[in-house]
Amino acid sequence: MPRTDWGWLITPEELASWILHEDEELLVINKPGLVICHPSKHGPWSSLIGACREYFGAERLHMPSRLDRETSGVVVMARNAKLASHLQRAMERRRVMKIYHAILYGETEHAVIVDKPIGKMAGSAVILRRGVVEEGPPAITEFEPVAHGGGYTLVKVLPRTGRLHQIRVHANFIGHPVVGDKIYGPDEQHFIEFLQTGWTPKLAATLILRRQALHASEWVYGPYHFTAPMPSDFQTLLDAVGYTL
């Protein structure tokens, strides 16, 4: 993706390489990290849905759910409003299974189910920050270690609920934040510093990855089962600690 002074610009060639599935009703994309899902002021090729509309000549596409800018992986789009509404209801009723993979700081070999409510974090300098708060709505996340070494752990993650920042909040709660996470990583001030100065060698030395190491690897509903391969930046980090996917 060509770098600009405001972010990334998607090219048609790149978008074509991200397509996981296409039919008359659905479009499924393996979104890279640092690509935003929804339209921006920088034109259609600055967002995933805008680029898809341009590339496929679609007047409208519907995104029942999205991924954060820094999260990579499966994004499902519906070509009609009826299907989009159906999928959104299915997700609200927890009938769609989403499986993630993440790389966490620290090493652990024990699976854990975190059953802790999540809500707005009082006293944080970051307005968006969430945390485990007793008055928050319920949230449940399963973490299953896949491999560990070199100070990191690769985990398979199954969120049973869909709260804002849920995986990242619960990873922080168990003492193993997601690598590269500017808000829930070693220090939330990294997020403020990033907004002020952009990506710097200082941030790179602490956060390791330019974006949070969170990947939506599988999406399952009824006859649909879509899988996105692990991203290259995951493999680069894992190679450095001697583990190959």
How far is the C-alpha of 180 from the C-alpha of 176, rounded, in Å? 12
Our count of domains for the chain comes to: 2
> Where a domain ends, among 73, 93, 113?
93
pLDDT at 217: 98
Question: Band of the pLDDT at 238, cuts 50, 70, 90?
Answer: confident
* pLDDT > 70 fraction of the chain, expressed in percent and rounded: 96
Residues 111 and 166 in one domain: yes
Residues 6 or more apart from 215 whose CB is under 8 A from it? Answer: 71, 72, 73, 100, 101, 102, 228, 230, 231, 234
How far is the C-alpha of 97 from the C-alpha of 221, rounded, in Å? 7
Q: Which candidate in 5, 23, 68, 239 is catalytic?
A: 68
pLDDT at 243: 67
Residues 37 and 156 in one domain: no
**Span 45-74, pLDDT tens digits:** 999 999 999 999 998 999 998 999 999 999
> Where a domain ends, among 51, 75, 93?
93
Average pLDDT, the chain: 93
Of 176, 174, 171, 206, the closest CA to residue 191 belongs to 206
Higher pLDDT among residues 203 and 2, named by residue: 203
Q: In this model, does residue 28 exceed pLDDT 70? A: yes
CATH number at residue 27: 3.30.2350.10
pLDDT at 133: 95
Question: Band of the pLDDT at 85, cuts 50, 70, 90?
Answer: very high
**Span 91-130, pLDDT tens digits:** 999 999 999 999 999 999 999 999 999 999 988 999 999 9
How far is the C-alpha of 77 from the C-alpha of 208, rounded, in Å? 32
> Where a domain ends, among 93, 112, 142?
93
Residues 116 and 234 in one domain: yes
Q: Where are the beta strands (DSSP E) in 52-96?
A: 72-78
Question: Band of the pLDDT at 18, cuts 50, 70, 90?
Answer: very high
Question: Band of the pLDDT at 205, cuts 50, 70, 90?
Answer: very high
pLDDT at 7: 67
Residues 5 and 71 in one domain: yes
Which whole number is the average pLDDT over 17-25? Answer: 96
Residues 161 and 44 in one domain: no
pLDDT at 103: 97
Residue 68 belongs to domain spanning: 1-93
Residues 172 and 220 in one domain: yes
Residues 35 and 13 in one domain: yes
Residues 45 and 76 in one domain: yes
Residues 82 and 118 in one domain: no
- Other C-beta atoms closer than 10 Å to the C-beta of 70 total 20
Q: In this model, does residue 174 exceed pLDDT 80? A: yes
- Please indicate whether residue 68 is annotated as part of the active site: yes
pLDDT at 1: 55
